[in-house]
A and B are shown apart, each in its own frame.
Chain A
Amino acid sequence: MAAEPVRGASRARGFLGRLRAGDQVASLITATFAASVLLLAALLVFELFRGSALTRDKFGWAFLFTGIWDPVAGEFGALPFIYGTVVTSALALAMAVPLGLGAAIFLSELAPPRISDALTFVIELLAAVPSVIYGLLGVFVLVPLMRQVGAPYGVGVFTAAVVLAVMILPFIVSISREALLAVPREQREAALALGATRWESTWQVVVPYARLGIFGSVFLALARALGETMAVTMVIGNDPKIHASLLAPGYSIAAVIANEFTEATADLHLSALIELGLVLFLLTILLNGVARLLILGTTRRGTAQ
């Protein structure tokens, strides 16, 4: 058998030939599986739209801005849940980003490679801890602690934010560290050559250079925090109202769906819950999209890993 370039051979053999060779079949089969992914995603979006049709027709855009959640009267508004979701996530970011970025800087700039790898390995294991276990620790450890520190209920928006912060920490550390490591050595050396201290070189040159990747990690962490269900449900207090105090209970989109979905007897109630799911879905897609763009930007610019 003489060696043949593949493409020329395929064309030369004709359709039956290709079929016999099985390539066409293989291509078709694998493409079908890939298409099934598309089908599933499309079905998901379709179901979300269909299930929320009742409330979308009845309330329109006002659904997003109304603050009442009254199943008895049939009045539904997403505002308290959007508030709870956004505030807990924003607070979580405010706590996790400085901590995570600091850790990432240490791991990429200062720690010797072996120690850096070992510590990063351990930190990434945090991402493997299931959500319900964070919830368990939240209920039995954090909530009593919060009661001592000033939140009378113990559960609340701030408590949920703390739990979320711990959960998104490994993402920020891991991805920021990668972004920082991708910064070319020349940048650091140039700064040092100009007389900067290690810190000045890091903070004023390396970090800005890696900022796309770092922002990417922040967006990714945010997207995760928004959709987090179990840990938040267990410590947020389940109160569909907006309170002035951060120590007061609140509610998030994911938590209310988890609590009320199996029981919504009225069609309108069910539709409202599914519409909340749709809102969350769209928000997460948007953030994930931005995150991917930002992270992609870094890895293209930096040196090959």
Chain B
Amino acid sequence: MRLALSLLALLVPLSAQTLVNGAGATFPYPIYSKWFDEYHKLHPDVQINYQSIGSGGGIRQLEAGTVDFGASDQPMNQEQLAKSKIKPLHFPTVLGAVVATYNLPGLSRELNFTPDALAGIFLGKIRKWNDPALARANPGVPLPSSDIMLVHRSDGSGTTFIWTDYLSKTSPEWKSQVGSGTSVNWPAGLGAKGNEGVAGMVKQTPYSLGYVELIYALQNKMAYGLVRNAAGKFVKPDLASVTAAAAAAGMPDDFRVSITNAPGKDAYPISSFTWLLIPSQIQDSAKKKILVDFLRWMLGPGQKMTEPLSYAPLPQRVVAKELKAIAAVQ
């Protein structure tokens, strides 16, 4: 009897805590996870539960109203915003880099990738590691003759958007044949779920190549390559080169901007902001208060936590602009 009562007690909601649910991008999951954890330590009565199901998932569940906020590496486009009932506001949170990560047994050097090589690999035209396009950019490096085992995303991904956006800007063939988006019709390779899945697959499959957010490659001690930017220089993805990419970009009022293939000689060309999508009207005043407070905290102390996880903090001017924009959340 006592057992039954205590079992039933599991079902009674505890009213002390407020749970805010969010879902979306896997790109910033490590930093968001850290942020929500730290915020919970500061405010024990607030639980922000974030599930990383991909940017597409974040947008969709936000629109369906099943989560309180979303997260995406792809800003919603005009068409999506027009159709949206929620009309979410975009708040950039951090800057990150999407890197080409690979698993070449015995080779620990960093490889150089040109935009043409990357487009060719992902179009399925460049099949082997020792293809001339790769060899030219990496003189003296003993590239194996094995096939490139290509890995991409199987889910709706903002990381995919950043990657394909870059390829579309640098390769007319890619743009016409595949285009950019969170889910594309990949000409080659197989799909893994989430940044986690791609990293997992590349880590375990010899001779594989995939694209992931920088922190996933770093945390798993995986090799990643340099990419030639618009100024012609091979740049290594890191905090400095990502910040350089953001420096050149203007920031519109609604914060939706793409910084791939940025000008600037030190810019890493596959960088991107990532956004939290907050509804412009929030009915639940307790949740609204929490979200607004979190945004402020994120733009202040939160920005100091980004570097250890290899995300670049937002430029000061963007932070200032965002703090003013928070007032738009009703």
Contacts and interface: CB of A to CB of B under 8 A. Distances in A.
Direct contact of A and B (CB under 8 A): yes
Interface of A: 68-73, 75, 143-144, 147, 152-155, 237-239, 249, 259-260, 262-265, 269
Q: Is the interface of A mostly helix, strand, loop or mixed?
A: loop
Contacts of A237: 190-191
A69 B205 contact: no
Contacts of B155: 259-260, 263
A71 B60 contact: no
B59 A265 contact: yes
A71 B57 contact: no
B39 to A, nearest CB: 25
A139 to B, nearest CB: 9
B185 A152 contact: no
A154 B204 contact: yes
A238 B191 contact: yes
A75 B185 CA distance: 9
Contacts of A72: 178-181, 183-185
Contact of B183 (A144, A154, A249, A260): A260
Q: Which of the four size classes fits the interface of chain B?
A: 35 or more
A239 B193 contact: no
B56 A154 contact: no
A264 B190 contact: no
A68 B190 contact: no
Contacts of A155: 190, 201
Contacts of B192: 238
B193 A259 contact: yes
B154 interface: yes
Contacts of B63: 265
30 contacts: A68-B185, A70-B184, A71-B181, A71-B183, A72-B179, A72-B181, A72-B185, A73-B179, A152-B149, A153-B190, A153-B208, A154-B204, A154-B205, A155-B190, A237-B191, A238-B191, A238-B192, A260-B154, A262-B23, A262-B60, A263-B54, A263-B56, A263-B59, A263-B155, A263-B156, A263-B182, A263-B183, A264-B156, A265-B59, A265-B60
